[in-house]
Structure 1
Amino acid sequence: MSLPLHPEPEVVGIFKQWLKTNGATIHDAVHFEKNPSGFSVIAEQDVAGNTTIVSVPSTLAITPELALRALTDIIPSDARALTNSLQKWSERQLMCSYICAHWLFDEKSTPPPLRHRPYINMLPTHDLLRTALHFTPPELELFRGSNLYGATLDRQKTWEAEWQQCRSVFSAVDVNWGVSLSWEKYSTAATYLSSRAFPSSLLTSHPSLYPTPDSHPILLPGIDSLNHARGHPVSWIVTDPSTAAEPKVSLVLHKPTERGGELLNNYGLKPNAELILGYGFSLLHNPDDTIVLKIGGSENNGGKGWEVGRNARGIEPVWQAVLDAVCAGKDEEDQNVGVEDELYAADMLGEMAQGLYNRLPSGEIPLDKEVRSDVAIMLEHYLEGQRNILHSIIEFASHKEKRAVELAQEQGLTIVEEGDDETLE
């Protein structure tokens, strides 16, 4: 027998009514239950498979276009010259500033263009967020030596530059607005986007969850309420924008859920690095974990590197890049890859992976450091995946080296060890 559910907080009732008033539908079984990170969505009654849980009209979406119009409308007429600055902002700046603008006013004085307060009030507050940007300095320091540590610093630098630009415009409109637009508020709004946004390609005539070069982030209130379960069978159904007066996005759960069970969404196949940086949670033994490798001195896939997964999945382009680097100094007449080239390449790849492995943090938490339990769990999950991948790359390099030695022997060549290196005679 499932435990009785707690009564929903008042903020939930206001949110549900706001959805319905604005043309959305939400299943009667949907029950919001408080949890340490905000809310879980629990089934108040048995829910059959292939059930639509929530359906939201596209007009309720928070988009850059809506944000630009609303921000322009709330700027006083004597400061309208500043609206030209908004045109230069990125989609994230517009949407974050729109969300933050709701916090400039109390409930009664909120201008009509800021129409998403019932939704924003449902989102987790800053103290409940656990993305890498919300780690304390001692917590972030535990990740030093990993790719995630550098990615966190890069993201913070980018977001802080955006925030300062937005704040300068807010301050020019009203000094109090500038004071109110704190880094805490902006980073909170930006985290809502990193953890909840869908690509705008979802609302096109050919709906897709895959971003395109022309797509931008959008927020869909209600659709984003459910937590993640990897591989959970769900569908996002979009009515044809060309035929519907008001296109709707619907979330359909294909697996039945018993009363008291959590209604879950599927965010897609994401490595723990992305989940921790953008969402604030991780998965144990995540099969989608990856590590980004870059080869110095090569074109390096446009400078972005290659993602390699468990069991050295995706390593072949990296291996080819290492071979290319080894052969780069050869004479034009001798461009064929030889056994000695493969030996050098295998040694280079193995040393690179071993070096990355050695630089990974130990994962041990000093007794004098206060680290929250959920952050400690993320650290454990993340490091397990990184070590597993790097170990598989080392094994791949070892296999390549053994194969090169076998080929050398077949060709009657002798392997001569010089220190830690191997050459042929």
Structure 2
Amino acid sequence: MALYLCLHALPSAITKRVDGLDLRHHVYVEHLPSRDSMRTTLYFSAVERELLRGSNLHGATEEREAGWRQEWGEVVSWTTDEEVRKELTFDLWLWACTILSLYRHVRISGEQVFNTYGAKSNEELLLGYGFVLPSNPADFLALKLSLPPSAPACLLDLLSKLKLDQLRHHVPQSGEIPPELLAQMRLLVAQPDELDAVIERASAAASWQEAVGFVSWENELDVLDALEGMLVSKLQALQQGAVADKLDGVRPEVLEMVQIYRQGQTKILQAAVTWRQTVFEQTMDKAEEAGVSIVYEDDMEDIDEEDEEE
């Protein structure tokens, strides 16, 4: 479909060279947004893309561009006519792919066309559509859990068996961490004997909640410690890339959109940090009520120092 759009945008003298080519949607294509009007992040200049550094959107933009460049390269390699190959630039391919992203659900019926975006975060809106909403009720923070290369095969099998192999999660504006992410982290930080116990429970469990809804109080606190590191790291990266009110070479509308996006992400991360701290304190209280004595490394160091002094 992207190639079909591109062919409509090529000079007629070029497309006439292709035998059997039937391009019947010129009127429709002529009314599509132009390349100059695009404001998605793939149309950001190099300076403007730097405004995204430290955010999820920086990597997402590079990943999408790499994918579309690969597709474009494959299509160009199939094209045998040299003149068509010259005209079929990545700039044109980028425009066509962006149009398809904008209007993927549209059907041509001879009447006025309306498009609905649905409930999307500002990250999705800016990446795919080129705008953000200052007060977006559907905004969220995307968190992706990375599995270590050394993760044992039994862990990967367990994640798949429990249907916990989706590693990308959405954190709402309340900051509450998705329970599926917490379950995955319980498995990642579990001790060998704890993991064996989960595997045994999973063989008869009807859901992941039965198998890994809780492992141990020590495990739960380890999860919350690891979660703190993850959230603080992302928050620091986002804050270090804070955007000034005015920058040379940056379009004002782009600057405003990026500021709104980053502010929203920062607020959600701060809410998540607060949520984690609350849950951590509650978990400590529950562990003590259960008669579990939790000793941290810092506490052990203090004890060792006291012993040495004696």
Range into which the TM-score falls when normalised by the shorter chain: 0.7 to 0.9
**Structure having greater relative contact order (Cα 8 Å, sep ≥ 6):** 2
Deviation at 1:166, TM superposition (A): 1.4
- The answer for the alignment partner of 2:6 in structure 1 is 100
Q: Matches of 1:381 and 1:286 in 2, distance apart? A: 10
Change (3 A) 1:276 1:222: farther
- The answer for the alignment partner of 1:272 in structure 2 is 122
- The answer for the alignment partner of 1:142 in structure 2 is 51
Deviation at 1:420, TM superposition (A): 9.1
Out of 100, 103, 108, the residue aligned to residue 220 of structure 1 is 108
The aligned amino acid for 1:407 is K
Note if contact 2:39-2:131 (Cα within 8 Å) is conserved in structure 1: yes
TM-score (norm 1): 0.57
Out of 19, 26, 33, the residue aligned to residue 124 of structure 1 is 33
User: How many pairs are equivalent?
Assistant: 270
Gaps of 5+ in 1: 1-94, 199-217, 227-264
- The answer for the alignment partner of 2:82 in structure 1 is 175
Structure with a larger share of its residues in strand: 1
- The answer for the alignment partner of 2:172 in structure 1 is 309
Out of 92, 113, 132, the residue aligned to residue 22 of structure 2 is 113
* CA-to-aligned-CA distance 1:210-248 (integer Å, 9 cap, x gap): xxxxxxxx653777844xxxxxxxxxxxxxxxxxxxxxx
Note if contact 2:40-2:128 (Cα within 8 Å) is conserved in structure 1: yes
- The answer for the alignment partner of 2:223 in structure 1 is 345
Change (3 A) 1:180 1:316: same
TM-score (norm 2): 0.77
* CA-to-aligned-CA distance 1:307-346 (integer Å, 9 cap, x gap): 2221135621111222222224335676672222222111
Q: Matches of 1:313 and 1:419 in 2, distance apart? A: 28
**Which aligned pairs between 1:243-254 and structure 2 lie closer than 5 A?**
none
* CA-to-aligned-CA distance 1:75-121 (integer Å, 9 cap, x gap): xxxxxxxxxxxxxxxxxxxx1111111122349x8788211111111
Note if contact 1:310-1:388 (Cα within 8 Å) is conserved in structure 2: yes
Change (3 A) 1:328 1:415: closer
Change (3 A) 1:368 1:407: closer
Note if contact 2:141-2:268 (Cα within 8 Å) is conserved in structure 1: yes
Change (3 A) 1:329 1:394: farther
The aligned amino acid for 2:84 is W
Deviation at 1:357, TM superposition (A): 0.9
1:404 aligns with 2:283: yes
Identical columns (%):
31
The SS at the match of 1:330 is helix
Change (3 A) 1:184 1:334: closer
Note if contact 2:140-2:265 (Cα within 8 Å) is conserved in structure 1: yes
The SS at the match of 2:192 is coil
**Which aligned pairs between 1:188-227 and structure 2 lie closer than 5 A?**
188-198=95-105, 219-220=107-108, 225-226=113-114
**Which aligned pairs between 1:24-423 and structure 2 lie closer than 5 A?**
95-106=1-12, 113-170=22-79, 172=80, 174-198=81-105, 219-220=107-108, 225-226=113-114, 266-297=116-147, 299=156, 301-302=164-165, 304-313=167-176, 315-331=178-194, 337-360=215-238, 361-365=240-244, 369-419=248-298
Structure with a larger share of its residues in helix: 2
